Amino acid sequence: MARADVLRRLLILALVLVVVLGLIYASSTWFLKKRYPMLYRDIILLYSSEYELDPYLVFAVIWVESKFDSRATSRRGARGLMQIVPTTGSWAAEKLGIEEYDDDSLYDPDINVKIGCWYISYLKKLFSEDMNLVLAAYNGGSGNVRKWLNDSRYSRDGKTLDKIPFNETKNFVDRVWHAYERYKKLYSL
């Protein structure tokens, strides 16, 4: 009888452990989904598809840039979800044929994500689809990335960056890849 009692207690303990671990997993997933939401999902999926981008990457860029605050404005004047600067916004709006564009249009999630995705697609072509270079250019400027590629302190081969000299840009690239991995683990698209 003692052996049966021990087995019953072990079974109950195992069941409690499974329930507790399940609750911990569910709450951590719930917490992570709150921290890494999929706001503006339809817009992001539409434009990431239109511009042949990985939607997880677009979610990650938005998370890093604005935490999904469509009214966000940086101290440098970048606006909206994807933090587009007005000069890039005007240039892209002209290329895309967006009529009645003004700088405040960048606060419109549809326009902002369309321009942001178009711009990432443009950078992908410019930098031979090297997404590290694309992200560095998105944050630090394509002219700076070209300079860094031509400087042996930052690039050994002129094609990839061994070091990003702007800390803000290096941190941006690292944070986007971290958020990208989170989005891929949390959601299936």
Q: Which of 50, 52, 65, 99 is catalytic?
A: 65
Angle 134-61-48 from CA coordinates, rounded to 5°: 80
Q: Is 100 a catalytic residue?
A: no
Tell me what percent of the chain is helix, strand and coil, each rounded to the nearest 5: 70, 0, 30
Distance CA 111, CA 185 (A): 28
Give CA–CA dist 97/82, Å, rounded: 19
Task: Specify the residue for token string 């002129």.
Answer: 158
Residue 154's contacts (CB-CB under 8 Å, 6 or more residues apart) are 148, 161, 162, 163, 164, 165
Cα radius of gyration rounded to whole Å, the chain: 22
Which residues are known to be catalytic?
65
